C-alpha cells in the first residue's frame, strides 16, 4: 500500500502552467503592513487534470522596485485543459512603508504604475506537487 503513492506520483508529470495576461488588479484591504489585492489573470493549464495553487513565494515590484513579498495566495483550482480567467486574492507583506508610500498611494488611486511579480508558485494534483518559476509577470 505504501508503494502506491510513490508509484502514482512518479507517473504523473506536469506541463508548464502559464499566465498569459493580467487583466485587472483591484484593491481589497490595507491593514498594518499587509496589502490585499484581487488579481484577475488569464491562466493556461495544458494538463489533462485540474491542479490547485497551494503556495507562492514572489516579490511584488512597483516601478521595478521590490516593495513587498506575496505571503499568501488564495487556493484556487485550475481546470484541466483550459485557458481562462481566474480571480485570485493575494496578500502582500509590505517592506519599508515610508519610502513606498507615494507609489502605493498612486496605485490605490488608480494612477498608472508599472507592477510585476516574480518568484515561484507551487501547484498540487492528487499526491504530487510541482513548483514553477514566474519570471517578471508584468501588468499596469
Over residues 33-73, the pLDDT tens digits come to 888 989 898 999 999 999 999 888 999 888 888 888 998 78
Over residues 121-134, the pLDDT tens digits come to 899 988 889 998 88
Q: Are 107 and 130 in contact (CB under 8 A)?
A: no
Tell which CATH architecture fits domain 15-120.
Answer: Sandwich (2.60)
Mean of all residue pLDDT scores within the chain: 80
pTM: 0.76
Amino acid at each position: 500500500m505504501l508503494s502506491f503513492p510513490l508509484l502514482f506520483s512518479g507517473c504523473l508529470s506536469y506541463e508548464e502552467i502559464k499566465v498569459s495576461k493580467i487583466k485587472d488588479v483591484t484593491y481589497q484591504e490595507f491593514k498594518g503592513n499587509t496589502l490585499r489585492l484581487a488579481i484577475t489573470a488569464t491562466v493556461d493549464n495544458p494538463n489533462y487534470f485540474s491542479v490547485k495553487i497551494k503556495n507562492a513565494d514572489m516579490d511584488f515590484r512597483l516601478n521595478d522596485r521590490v516593495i513587498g513579498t506575496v505571503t499568501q495566495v488564495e487556493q484556487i483550482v485550475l481546470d484541466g485543459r483550459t485557458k481562462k480567467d481566474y480571480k485570485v486574492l493575494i496578500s502582500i507583506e509590505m517592506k519599508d512603508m515610508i519610502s513606498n508610500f507615494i507609489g502605493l498611494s498612486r496605485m490605490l488611486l488608480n494612477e498608472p504604475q508599472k507592477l510585476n511579480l516574480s518568484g515561484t508558485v507551487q501547484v498540487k494534483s492528487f499526491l504530487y506537487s510541482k513548483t514553477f518559476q514566474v519570471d517578471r509577470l508584468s501588468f499596469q
